[in-house]
């Protein structure tokens, strides 16, 4: 819609928008407009914002419905049409500009016009308009104070039929309307009926007479539950000017089931008028419900409060009211409350005995929500809170001790403050606080003495006094070992670094590893990690220091917090890497936000991967016949993970293969020498070499075969020499043919 705050805008060259919107709904907006044809002000309703075809259809159905009816208590339609805005089709319809206000305005302003008589008259006029709609087969579905317009002359008009539907369109079951005024069946997504409108009008009537809504809730769910199950107080209890008959009439219209309400809006109106005149109303004859009341009283006397409550609720949900019913409601509710309180107190005591204090307190809170002044609950609550406080104090003492052991003095003092918040006069807490102060002072004194020794050692080292520097550094390190665990790992690392520099680097790697292992055993994790880092900067791929670093980081993480102490102890005690991994993985799943467990999981995985990489390299070396290199990898593995399954077997097997390889190589060398003599025709020398080889390999079949070949070669050589001699003799005798043969 064009902005009406600017120059006047015209719709279809007829309706001139004069003022901003005078009413807005979910999809529609109403403007005050001037009809340039009839020369009067009117109310023009159109659609707001971007619209879709379904919304247009619903909007057009509203004016179509209104155009079909002509009734004094239903707003009239003067004109309909459409215009285009931003390329969109916008339908509109025109109504009289009514002088007056909506009923919700009268309710909110506590108008003096809303006397009991005037309110009943407004409701009766609304009933007449509603009856006319129902007679046309139409159901409003959104009756509320803002849709009932009270004119200056007290004429009532029902407006805003935006969610109306035809009574015979059974497929329309969606939740349409304002929840606070909906009938229970509408909330259950059942088809709306004329009785649904009667329920909504009864809610409006209740609100107009009491200035409060019969059904409330902090959330939409609570509100829906209230409408479906809650029986509101009688109107006459909240407004002394309302008689019992009017109150009963409204409650009858508020019955939970449609068939218990009035059968038509006309019947509701007629009954309201009779009630206003205090005329007898047959449907409210007490004798009709007296048998049920007697049954309820019998059930109450027999202690069957559940059955009594069900029957009483049934009567109330049917819209019945009676002073005796009100008294029974008070008595039965009180009996049920007392029974619930007894059960809750018994449950609380049981939970307390089982040391389930939070659950016990929860039960007590439930009792106090029912009966805030219950003495037994208050007493038991004090006992539970006292017991819980004692337990909390002991837990804090345990944590403070752990923080003190870890030299976390600030955290330890915070723990003491938590104890004193619970019990300001706890003497143990004050004694422990004094111990914390004393321990911190001693640690500071030792730290200062170590710093002086370090500075003196630096001076000696610069002056070339190595022995003096070493002596001072050893004294410093003795203080480190003898004193409590340091809270300044960087400073201690500096001390140890100088000590390492002064010492000979001849055996730096071995000594550094031993020292790192020692610091790890002393839980001096920072120094152990620093040593690893220093060495790994020179030798990044060294697996021993990699393993030590991973182990130090893993153990260090295990000591960080009391909350994770149990998991860390399990991990520390478990030698199997796969089991370690599974333990920490379970902890990660249980505490997904604890960074320590995530880091530990990676450390264990890295260590496992490192072990697997060493094993993989050992097997690769073995496959390539590099048995010494393979043995070196197994030795490394023995140093960093001696518990590797089958380690001894692998080492022994590799040794056997290495021995076999050595034998094969030795034999090959013998065979090469033998082949050399065979190639030169030196069978005698070949036989000598074979005989030497057989001394080393006495049962070797190949050598024995070569020996036979050598013997044959010797024999063939001897025979050839004889034949040569005979040939030479024959040649000497000039017997050439015989010599050649």
**Three-point CA angle 287, 289, 291, nearest 5°:** 85
DSSP 74: B
How far apart, in whole angstroms, are the C-alpha atoms of residue 518 and residue 689? 58
- Asked if 648 is an active-site residue, the reply is no
The phi and psi torsions of 55 (rounded to 5 degrees) equal -65, -40
| Cβ(243)–Cβ(275) below 8 Å | yes
How far apart, in whole angstroms, are the C-alpha atoms of residue 496 and residue 477? 8
Sheet of 15-24, strands arranged across = 9-11, 15-24, 28-35, 40-47, 88-96, 79-85
Residue 22, SS3 per DSSP: strand
How far apart, in whole angstroms, are the C-alpha atoms of residue 492 and residue 305? 76
Answer positive or negative: Cα dihedral of 455, 460, 464, 467: negative
How far apart, in whole angstroms, are the C-alpha atoms of residue 599 and residue 28? 60
Is residue 530 packed enough to be buried (19+ CB in 10 Å), middle (13-18) or exposed (0-12)? buried
How far apart, in whole angstroms, are the C-alpha atoms of residue 709 and residue 691? 13
Strand pairing report for 28-35 and 15-24 = antiparallel
Residue in this structure with the two tokens 């019947």, named with its chain if needed: 267
How far apart, in whole angstroms, are the C-alpha atoms of residue 602 and residue 599? 5
| Cβ(302)–Cβ(290) below 8 Å | no
The phi and psi torsions of 297 (rounded to 5 degrees) equal -65, -40
- The secondary structure element, H or E, covering residue 156 is strand 156-158
| Cβ(13)–Cβ(21) below 8 Å | no
How far apart, in whole angstroms, are the C-alpha atoms of residue 621 and residue 635? 14
How far apart, in whole angstroms, are the C-alpha atoms of residue 130 and residue 143? 10
Which one, of 181, 55, 35, lies nearest residue 96 by Cα? Answer: 35
| Cβ(184)–Cβ(227) below 8 Å | yes
Please, which residues bridge with residue 74 across strands?
A: 158
| Cβ(235)–Cβ(211) below 8 Å | no
The phi and psi torsions of 11 (rounded to 5 degrees) equal -105, 120
Residue 24, SS3 per DSSP: strand
Alpha-carbon Rg for the chain in angstroms: 52
How far apart, in whole angstroms, are the C-alpha atoms of residue 468 and residue 498? 13
C-alpha 511: how far from chain center: 50
Count CB-CB contacts under 10 A for residue 315: 19
Q: Which two tokens stand for residue 82?
A: 């459409």
Helix axes 543-558 and 565-573, enclosed angle (nearest 10)? 150
Is residue 674 packed enough to be buried (19+ CB in 10 Å), middle (13-18) or exposed (0-12)? buried
Options 19, 142, 437, 700, the catalytic residue:
142
Sheet of 100-102, strands arranged across = 100-102, 148-151, 156-158
Helix H, strand E, coil C: the string for 645-713 is CCHHHHHHHHHHHHHHHHHHHHHHHHHHHHHHHHHCCCHHHHHHHHHHHHHHCCCCHHHHHHHHHHHHH
Please, which residues bridge with residue 85 across strands?
A: 88
| Cβ(656)–Cβ(663) below 8 Å | no
By annotation, the residues acting in catalysis are 142
């Amino acid at each position: 819609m064009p902005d009406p705050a600017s120059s006047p805008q015209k719709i279809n060259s007829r309706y001139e928008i004069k003022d901003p919107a005078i009413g807005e709904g979910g999809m529609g907006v109403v403007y005050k407009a001037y009809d340039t044809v009839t020369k009067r002000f009117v109310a023009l309703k159109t659609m707001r914002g971007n619209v879709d075809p379904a919304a247009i259809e619903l909007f057009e159905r509203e004016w179509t419905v209104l155009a079909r009816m002509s009734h004094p208590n239903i707003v009239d339609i003067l004109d309909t049409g459409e215009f285009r805005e931003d390329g969109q089709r916008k339908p509109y319809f025109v109504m009289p500009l009514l002088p007056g206000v909506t009923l919700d305005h009268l309710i909110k302003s506590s108008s003096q016009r809303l006397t009991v008589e005037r309110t009943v008259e407004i409701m009766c006029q609304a009933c007449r308009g509603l009856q006319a709609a129902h007679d046309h087969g139409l159901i409003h579905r959104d009756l509320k104070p803002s849709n009932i317009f009270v004119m200056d002359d007290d004429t009532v008009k029902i407006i805003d039929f935006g969610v109306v539907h035809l009574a015979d369109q059974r497929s329309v079951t969606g939740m349409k309307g304002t929840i606070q005024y909906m009938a229970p069946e509408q909330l259950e997504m059942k088809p709306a009926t004329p009785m649904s409108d009667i329920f909504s009008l009864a809610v409006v009537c209740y609100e107009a007479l009491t200035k409060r809504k019969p059904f409330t809730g902090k959330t939409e769910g609570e509100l829906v539950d209230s409408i479906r199950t809650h029986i509101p107080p009688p109107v006459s209890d909240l407004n002394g000017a309302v008689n019992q008959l009017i109150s009963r009439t409204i409650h009858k219209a508020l019955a939970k089931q449609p068939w218990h309400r009035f059968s038509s809006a006309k019947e509701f109106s007629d009954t309201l008028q009779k009630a206003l005149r205090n005329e007898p109303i047959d449907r409210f004859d007490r004798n009709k419900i007296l048998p049920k009341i007697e049954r309820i009283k019998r059930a109450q006397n027999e202690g069957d409060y559940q059955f009594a409550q069900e029957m009483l609720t049934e009567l109330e949900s049917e819209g019945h009211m009676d002073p005796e019913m009100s008294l029974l409601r008070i008595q039965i509710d009180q009996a049920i409350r007392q029974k619930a309180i007894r059960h809750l107190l018994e449950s609380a005591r049981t939970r307390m005995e089982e040391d389930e204090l939070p659950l016990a307190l929860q039960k007590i809170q439930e009792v106090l929500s029912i009966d805030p002044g219950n003495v037994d609950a208050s007493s038991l609550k004090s006992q539970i809170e006292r017991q819980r406080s004692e337990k909390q104090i002991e837990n804090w003492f345990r944590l403070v001790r752990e923080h003190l052991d870890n030299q976390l003095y600030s955290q330890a003092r915070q723990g003491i403050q938590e104890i004193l918040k619970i019990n300001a006069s706890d003497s143990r807490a004050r004694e422990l606080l004094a111990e914390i102060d004393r321990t911190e002072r001693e640690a500071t004194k030792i730290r200062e003495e170590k710093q002086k020794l370090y500075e003196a050692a630096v001076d000696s080292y610069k002056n070339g006094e190595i022995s003096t520097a070493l002596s001072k550094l050893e004294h410093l390190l003795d203080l480190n070992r003898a004193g409590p665990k340091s809270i300044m790992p960087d400073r201690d690392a500096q001390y140890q670094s100088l000590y390492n520099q002064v010492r000979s680097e001849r055996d730096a790697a071995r000594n550094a590893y031993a020292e790192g292992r020692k610091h790890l055993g002393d839980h001096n994790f920072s120094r152990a990690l620093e040593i690893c880092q220093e060495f790994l900067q020179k030798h990044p791929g060294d697996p021993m220091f990699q393993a030590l670093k991973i182990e130090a980081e893993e153990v260090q993480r295990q000591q960080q917090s009391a909350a994770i102490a149990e998991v860390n102890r399990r991990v520390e005690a478990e030698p199997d890497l796969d089991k370690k991994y599974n333990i920490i993985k379970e902890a990660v799943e249980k505490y997904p936000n604890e960074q320590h467990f995530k880091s530990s999981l990676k450390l264990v995985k890295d260590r496992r991967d490192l072990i697997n990489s060493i094993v993989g390299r050992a097997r690769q070396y073995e496959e390539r016949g590099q048995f010494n290199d393979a043995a070196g990898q197994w030795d490394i593995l023995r140093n960093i993970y001696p518990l590797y399954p089958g380690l001894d077997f692998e080492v022994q097997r590799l040794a056997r293969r290495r021995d076999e390889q050595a034998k094969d190589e030795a034999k090959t060398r013998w065979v090469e020498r033998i082949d050399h003599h065979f190639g030169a025709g030196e069978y005698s020398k070949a036989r000598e070499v074979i005989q030497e080889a057989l001394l080393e390999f006495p049962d070797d079949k190949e050598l024995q075969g070569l020996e036979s070949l050598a013997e044959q070669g010797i024999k063939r050589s001897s025979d050839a020499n004889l034949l040569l001699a005979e040939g030479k003799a024959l040649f000497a005798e000039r017997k050439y043919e015989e010599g050649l043969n």
